[in-house]
Amino acid sequence: MEKRHIPKNLRCKGSKKSLGAAAAAFAVCLVLLVFLIGAVIGRYQRQLRSDNSVKAKEFYFTCNLLDGGTHTLAPGSTEVIFTLGNYADELRFSEVDIDYKVTVTPADGVNVEYSNTAQKLLAGGKKDDAVTIKGLSPNNTYTVTATGTGGYSQTLTAKIVVLPTEGQVYYNEENVSGEYLLLTVWNEGEEVGNVTIHYKGIPDNTNPNMTDWNTGGETAQEKSVSIEPHESKVFRFFNATDITVEGATAKEPY
């Protein structure tokens, strides 16, 4: 059988092609291997983060009244009710139990009542507890403080002002061009204020507030007047020489 003769240059070309194909295949395999290793490592890291990482638990301590500001109660108010909560909104709430305490300064005559006598907001969902402060007195300012602890600590506070029950009546006199005197009396309180106006001079009986006032000339006269809450009344006098208001305080109007 006759041997076929393959030229040397053709044998080299075939060898080079085989080596090139092998190198390309190796490169593809290497890229796939790196990709697979990266995917496995990434998956492992995600599992590690989700399963084994330490995450700080959520803590929320809120109140619908204790916002750092000042709140005014109407005259005659003796108590105030507010709520303490363990959440920021419908989706964010504390993941730890919160023990809380409320204090009031000054504490004289004041009693704090808790709807939950354990004074604890339990974790696991939105919780609200009502707190009632009783024994407040008129014309006083109270500082109310609530402190919540549960691995963390937060303090909420506000001032509560109770208005006085009596009327807060003021007056102001204005001499208009030397022709007549205007007397303004007003009440900034929540109760009726009663004053007595002493005067010398001629009251303006055309003024609806003064239709039945007596003209005494040089003889001193007086008239009792009631001023409703947040009401203002104006009185006018001619040739007035002496006017005083009993039961009110002199003050510049706003």
Domain locations in the chain as residue ranges: 62-162, 169-250
Q: Is 168 helix (H, G, I), strand (E, B) or coil?
A: coil
Percent share of the chain, pLDDT over 70: 78
Q: What is the pLDDT of residue 23?
A: 58
Instruction: Residues 62-162: name the CATH superfamily.
Output: Immunoglobulins (2.60.40.10)
**Matching residue, tokens 């000339």:** 217
pLDDT tens-digit map of 126-169: 999 999 999 999 889 999 999 999 989 999 999 999 987 767 89
Question: For the whole model, what pTM was predicted?
Answer: 0.53
Q: Do domains 62-162 and 169-250 have the same CATH topology?
A: yes
Query: In this predicted model, what pLDDT tens digit does every residue of 164-207 receive, in sequence order?
Result: 776 789 999 999 988 899 999 999 887 888 999 999 889 999 99
Q: Which residues of 131-153 are buried (b: 16+ CB within 10 A; e: fewer)?
A: bebeebeeebebebebbbbbeee
In sequence order, the 6+-apart residues with CB closer than 8 A to the CB of 46 are none
> Which range is least confidently modeled, 142-151, 212-221, 237-246?
212-221
Architecture of the domain made up of 169-250: Sandwich (2.60)
